[in-house]
Structure formats: C-alpha cells, structure tokens
Amino acid sequence: MSPAVAKLVPEETVFFLCDVQTRFKNVIFSFDEIVLTINKMLKIAKVLEIPVVVTEQNPKGLGNTIPDIDLPSLGPLLVATIEKGLFSMMTPEVKALLHERPHIKSVVLLGIESHVCVLQSALDLIDLGYNVYVIADGVSSCNKEEIPFALARIRQSGGYITTSESAAFQLQRVFFITTHGGAYSSIPGDAGLPGFKLFSNVVKEEKDNTARTLQKLLQPHPVL
C-alpha cells in the first residue's frame, strides 16, 4: 500500500512566521527578498482565511517583527505574536494554540534562521505529527551556505520543501457546489470560479517579486 500523500488544505493549515525581527535586517542573507515572500503569503492567508502565528526571539534585545511585514492587515487571522526564548517556535504558548485547534494538520513555515529556529521548529512539529511545509523562498540564514543543509535535514525528517507559489496553488481549493437529487458534490481547484479571481490577482501582483526571490534565494544554493 502506498503511503498517504499529505496535501495542503486551507481549513487544516496554519502559517508560522519565525523571528523576522528588526535587528536581523542587516545580517540575514537576502532579508529583503524573504520579506517580499512573507508579505505575498500573508496576502494568500487573507484570501483563503488561513490563521497566522508569529514568534519573536527575545524582542527586548532583537526588536519586534520588522514593520515592513504587514501583520496589521491580517486582522483576526493574526492568532498571536509570541515572545520566545527557545530556538524552536514550539513554546508552551504555541503548543496550547495548536491544542485548541485539533483540526490543524499542516504548518507552513517562513522566517529565520533556516538552520536554527526554522529547523528546530520543523523537527518539533514533525515529531508531534504535523505535516510541515517549509517555503524555500521564504527562509534564510546569516550565512547562505547553511540554508540548503537545513532544508535537506528537514526533508530527511519528513518535512516538505516547497516554494511560495507552489504552496499557494496547493492551498487554492475553491469548490463548485451543485445538487443532484438533493445531494451535494464539489469540484476542487476550479479556476473558472469567482473565488479564484482574488487569488489570481495576488499571484499576478507578486509576479516580479516571486521571480526576484527565486533568483536570489534558490539559484546560489539549490535545495540538496
């Protein structure tokens, strides 16, 4: 029997944003590009109503999440911004948030640093049974050479390495509801439906930014 294939479903997904704080701006490889990817994914979160959890590592010393990231626009979709001392995002507070949402099966990870906080968060989440998707054009480290090894380690442990656009299209699952003798049926992923228009607009608006981030983040160090 073939193993089950994990698929991203909006209603079962949460976005985790790890430690993209002001003090890191001038030391993280391709920092501006990962901010572009994060804002793109936040737009997707708004269109598809996906909750977002943010952590900040020692914000008194490292600052808060950089204001270039448009967290206020999320409104109630921003579940929490949690201060942490651990490298992993899986603090008691974050574990409690997930425990309160037993329908969540998948976590989409963005942020820094790939080989420290992102890696340890991914391993902890995988260990707890979640499907973990790391956005390769949305994570980075101080030293770019660390990134592919961190992503390879996550993949070896059962995580999924993908890109922002690929993940976005997996999450875009609009449904056409029809009746047949009182029964309902649905067709997922129908690009002709009105709900697809908002999603499509985001993809088009972000086209140049997507190309920029892929060229900067993935070409120098392809995923192992």
Catalytically active residues are 19, 84, 117
8 contacts 163 by C-beta, under 8 angstroms? no
3-state secondary structure of 71: coil
Phi and psi at 152, nearest 5°, equal -65, -40
* Sheet with 131-140, edge to edge strand ranges: 78-84, 52-57, 13-18, 106-112, 131-140, 160-162
108 contacts 136 by C-beta, under 8 angstroms? no
Picking from 133, 124, 122, the residue whose alpha carbon sits closest to that of residue 12 is: 133
How distant is the alpha carbon of residue 118 from its chain centre?
Answer: 11
The amino acid at 114: S
